[in-house]
Amino acid sequence: MHEKKDPIIFSSYEPREGLFDEVFEDNGSVKSIYKTLFDLYGGHSVNDYENLNNKAKASFFNQGITFQVYDNEQTQEKIFPFDLFPRIIHPLEWEIIEKGAIQRSRALNLFLWDIYHDKKIIKDKVVPLDLLSSSEHYLHQMMHLDPPGKIYNHISGTDLIKHSDGEYYVLEDNIRCPSGVSYVICNRTALKRALFGVFNHYQAHSVTNYAGNLLQILETVIPRGVDNPNCVVISPGRFNSAYYEHSYLAKAMGVELVEGQDLFVENDFVYMKTINGPERVDIIYRRIDDAFIDPLEFRPDSALGVPGLFAAYKKGNVCLANAPGTGVADDKAVYTYMPEIIKYYLDEAPILNNVHTYRCSRPDELKYVLENIDKLVIKPVDEAGGYGISIGNQLTKSEIEKVKATIKEHPRKYIAQPILSLSVHPTYIEEEGSFEQRHVDLRTFTLLGKDKDFVLKGGLTRVALRKGNLIVNSSQGGGSKDTWVLKNEA
Amino acid sequence: MGLKKRSVNMLARVANNLFWMGRYIERSEHIARYLNVNYFSSLDAPHELSQSRQFMLRSTLFMIGDPVNDTDQVLDEEKVLFNTALNQEKDYSIISNIKSARENANSARDLISTGLYEAINRFYHYVLNYDTNFFVKKGLYDFTVHVTEQTAVLRGKIRGSLLHDQVYAIIMLGINIERATQIIRIINAKYHDALLATGSYGDQVAHSFEWTTLLKCIESYDMMRRFYRKTPTSLSTLEFLILNGDCPRSVMNSLNQIYRHMSVLDKAKRPAKDSTSFLVGKLRAEIEFTKVESIECNVQEFIQQILEKLVEISQKMEKEFFNY
Each residue's pLDDT tens digit, A183-208: 999 999 989 988 888 899 999 999 99
Q: Which residue has the higher pLDDT, A452 or A474?
A: A452
DSSP label at B47? Answer: S
Q: Are A298 and A290 in contact, with CB atoms under 8 Å apart?
A: yes
List the Cα angle B77/B83/B85 in 5-degree steps.
100
Residues in chain A closer than 8 A to B122 (CB atoms): 62
Q: What is the mean pLDDT of residues B83-108?
A: 96
pLDDT range class, residue B201, cuts 50, 70, 90: low
Smallest Cβ distance to A238: which of B10, B106, B121? B106
Interface touch B9/A274, C-beta < 8 Å:
yes
Mean pLDDT, residues A361-375 taken together? 90
pLDDT at B243: 96
Share of chain A above pLDDT 70, in %: 94
CB A103 within 8 A of CB A351: yes
- Which of B4, B6, B8, B14 to probe the A interface (max A CBs under 10 A)? B8
List C-alpha distances in Å: A99 to A104, A113, A282, A407: 9, 21, 31, 36
Inter-chain residue contact B125 with A276, CB threshold 8 Å: no
Rounded Cα–Cα distance for residues A317 and A267 (Å): 10
Q: What percent of chain B has pLDDT over 70?
A: 97
**Rg of chain A (C-alpha set):** 23
More confident residue, A26 or A294: A294
Mean pLDDT of A122-141: 88
Say whether B166 and A275 touch across the interface (CB within 8 A): yes
pLDDT at B2: 61
**pLDDT, position A13:** 87
Q: Do B110 and A230 touch (CB under 8 A)?
A: no
- Cα B292 from chain centroid? 22
> Does the distance separating the beta carbons of A258 and B110 come in below 8 Å?
no
How does the average pLDDT of chain B come out, rounded? 92
Residue A64 has pLDDT above 90, yes or no: no
pLDDT of B194 reads: 86
Q: How far apart are CA A2 and CA A5, in angstroms?
A: 8
Cβ distance A275 to B106 less than 8 Å, yes or no, reads no
* Cα–Cα distance for residue pair A252/A208, rounded to 1 Å: 9
Q: Which long-range contacts (CB under 8 A, 24 or more apart) does B218-222 make?
A: B218/B30, B218/B33, B218/B183, B218/B186, B218/B249, B219/B33, B219/B148, B219/B249, B220/B247, B220/B249, B220/B250
Q: Output b/e per residue, A92-120; b: 16+ Cβ within 10 A.
A: ebbeebbebbbbbbbbbbbbbbbbbeeee
- pLDDT classification of A1: cutoffs 50, 70, 90: very low
Considering only the beta carbons, identify the residue of B122, B125, B265 that sits closest to A275.
B265
Cα–Cα–Cα angle for A226, A227, A229, nearest 5°?
Answer: 70
In chain B, residues with a C-beta closer than 8 Å to the C-beta of A73 are none
Q: Identify all chain A residues contacting B324, using CB atoms and an 8 Å cutoff.
A: 261-262, 273
Q: Which of B12, B103, B109 sits opposite A273 (nearest CB)?
A: B12
Contact status of B123 with chain A (Cβ, < 8 Å): no
With 0-12 / 13-18 / 19 or more C-beta atoms within 10 angstroms meaning exposed / middle / buried, residue A347 is exposed
* Burial status of residue B219 (CB atoms within 10 A of its CB: 0-12, 13-18, 19 or more): middle
Using CA atoms, how far apart are residues A301 and A305, in angstroms rounded to an integer?
A: 10
The Cα A477–Cα A469 span in angstroms is 10
What string of DSSP letters covers B257-282? HHHHHHHHH---SS--TTSHHHHHHH
- pLDDT greater than 70 at residue B179: yes
- Asked if residue A2 has pLDDT above 60, the reply is no
- Asked whether B262 and B316 are in contact (CB, 8 A), the reply is no
User: 3-state DSSP call for residue A70?
Assistant: strand
Rounded Cα gap, residues A370 and B44, in angstroms: 85
Which secondary structure element, helix H or strand E, spans residue A5, and what is its range?
Answer: none
Question: Shortest CB distance from A257 goes to which of B110, B117, B265?
Answer: B110
Question: Are the C-beta atoms of A213 and A219 separated by less than 8 Å?
Answer: no
Q: How many residues does chain A have?
A: 490
Given a cut of 70, is residue B133 above it in pLDDT?
Answer: yes
Check if B99 contacts A (Cβ < 8 Å): no
Q: Which residues of B touch A274 (CB under 8 A)?
A: 8-12
Going by the DSSP 8-state scheme, the letter that residue A163 receives in this structure is -
Instruction: Report pLDDT for A323.
Output: 97
Place A3 in a pLDDT band, splitting at 50, 70 and 90.
Answer: very low
Are A262 and B13 within 8 A, CB to CB?
Answer: yes
- Facing A274 at nearest CB: one of B5, B10, B118: B10
**3-state DSSP call for residue A484?**
strand
CB-based burial label for A412 (10 Å; 0-12, 13-18, 19+): middle
DSSP, collapsed to helix, strand or coil, labels residue A21 as: strand
- Give the whole-angstrom CA distance, residue B152 versus residue B174: 15
Contact check, Cβ <8 Å, B122/A256: no
For the cut 50, the answer to whether the pLDDT of residue B1 exceeds it is no
Task: Specify whether the CB–CB gap between A437 and A426 falls below 8 A.
Answer: yes
DSSP secondary structure letter of residue A136: T
Once rounded to an integer, what is the mean pLDDT over residues A290-301? 94
Assembly ipTM: 0.82
* pLDDT tier, A93 (very low <50, low <70, confident <90, very high otherwise): very high
Residue B34 dihedral angles phi and psi, to the nearest 5°: -60, -45
What is the arithmetic mean of pLDDT over A335-359? 94
Average pLDDT of chain A to the nearest whole number: 90
- A24 sits in the region (left: phi over 0; alpha: psi -120 to 50; else beta) called beta
Question: Residue A14 has what pLDDT?
Answer: 85
Q: B246 in helix, strand or coil?
A: coil
Which carries the bigger pLDDT value, residue B152 or residue A48? B152
**Mean pLDDT within A343-357:** 95
Per-residue pLDDT tens digits for B209-263:
889 999 999 999 999 999 999 889 889 999 999 999 999 999 999 999 999 999 9
**In the structure, what pLDDT confidence band is assigned to residue A469 with cuts at 50, 70 and 90?**
confident
Size of interface A-B (CB pairs under 8 A): 77
3-state secondary structure of B220: coil
* CB of B6 less than 8 A from some CB of A: yes
pLDDT tens, position by position, B60-84: 999 999 999 888 899 999 999 999 9
Give the gap in angstroms from C-alpha B286 to the nearest C-alpha of chain A. 28
Predicted TM-score (pTM) of the model is 0.87
Q: Is B73 left (phi over 0), alpha (psi -120 to 50) or beta?
A: beta
A158-172, A398-412, B40-54 — which is least confidently predicted? B40-54
Ordered structural domains, chain A, with CATH: 357-418 (3.30.1490.270)
User: Is B125 at the interface with chain A, CB within 8 A?
Assistant: yes
A156 Rama class: left (phi>0) / alpha (psi -120 to 50) / beta: beta
**A63/B11 Cβ within 8 A:** no
What distance in Å separates the CA atoms of residue B218 and residue B229, rounded to the nearest whole number?
A: 18
B114 contact residues in A (CB cutoff 8 A): 63, 251
Q: Rounded distance, CA B157 to CA B112, Å? A: 10
For the segment A230-256, the average pLDDT, to the nearest whole number, is 92
pLDDT band at A390 (very low <50, low <70, confident <90, very high): confident
A423 burial type by CB count under 10 A (0-12 exposed, 13-18 middle, 19+ buried): buried
Taking alpha carbons only, the member of A402, A323, A333 closest to residue A370 is A402
Interchain pair B109, A259: CB under 8 A: no
Split at pLDDT 50, 70, 90, the class of A474 is low
DSSP assignment of A436-474: EEEEEEEEEEEEEETTEEEE-SS-EEEEE-STT-----G
Q: Letter for the amino acid at B323?
A: N
Considering only CB atoms, B11 lies closest to which of A64, A238, A272, namely A272
Percentage of chain B lying above the pLDDT 90 cut: 77
Is there a contact between B110 and A247 if contact means CB atoms under 8 Å apart?
yes
Contacts of B117 in chain A (CB under 8 A): 64
- Cβ separation of A61 and B118 shorter than 8 Å? no
Alpha carbon of B54: minimum distance to chain A alpha carbons (Å) = 34
C-beta of residue B110 within 8 angstroms of C-beta of residue B100: no
**Are A135 and A478 within 8 A, CB to CB?**
no
The whole-angstrom separation of Cα B65 and Cα B31 is 11
User: How distant is the Cα of A354 from the closest Cα of chain B, in angstroms?
Assistant: 38
Contact at CB, B9 and A275, closer than 8 angstroms: yes
Alpha carbon distance A157, A445 (integer Å): 5
pLDDT for res A72: 63
pLDDT at A139 over 60: yes
pLDDT of residue B79: 96
Asked if B7 and A268 touch (Cβ cutoff 8 Å), the reply is no
Answer yes or no: are the C-beta atoms of B85 and B98 closer than 8 Å.
no
User: Residue B118: its chain A contacts at CB < 8 A?
Assistant: 62-64
B2 to chain A, minimum CA–CA distance in Å?
Answer: 13
